[in-house]
Structure 1
């Protein structure tokens, strides 16, 4: 029964974080295209694929979080973020194209949308870990450390 709960929390954390942040990233990618004067398109298959990439990338971090609260689970999160950087850079280079002649407002939109897309890359694995911790009912690390200190004193 424990194995089912562990697997369920890992899948739920990965799917929850991956779908939400993948969809956000997709929206920011469309804004990026719009800011550079491109024709922002939308397809459900493209959105599904991006969300799937996010789910796959954060799955190791979610799985690690189900087994431990130790620091090394963040190595899996870092690996997931690095994995997501490849498609993010690819989309960025494809969507941005020629930036000559962009207005100041277009540059502001370009920079803001770019920062937002790359932020989702780093937030997604952390969000998966956060979700798994909440699903497991695990106390945040700071609370655990404080309880340990209080137990030693008292």
Structure 2
């Protein structure tokens, strides 16, 4: 196994461990965060705040390195505008997250602890990914 693959595996495992330790593999935490006028649970705000603070502090210094440790170059998006597809995808992601209480990272980490919600969510997520791939391949890339 290559060093970049091992590094990706280690990073994914660390991310999954962090999600599990913070309770973010439990969709009720997310749904509790979204329930502003009911049984509100602010835990997700602290997890998101930690992620935003880490990114805010380290993004620029990491980019100043010139290149990643295990790759030839950084792979950053060149997109500089907001279009219908981006907004539609974000809305669909948010609606799904609000209904299920899961997004891909916690769902995959939930598989590791055999969460019953993850056992139905992940196949549905993979089916949606396959459907998107088939639709965009049939239509071709959009300008």
Whether TM exceeds 0.5 here: the answer is no
Q: Which has the higher helix share?
A: 1
- TM-score of the superposition, structure 2-length normalised? 0.32
- TM-score of the superposition, structure 1-length normalised? 0.30
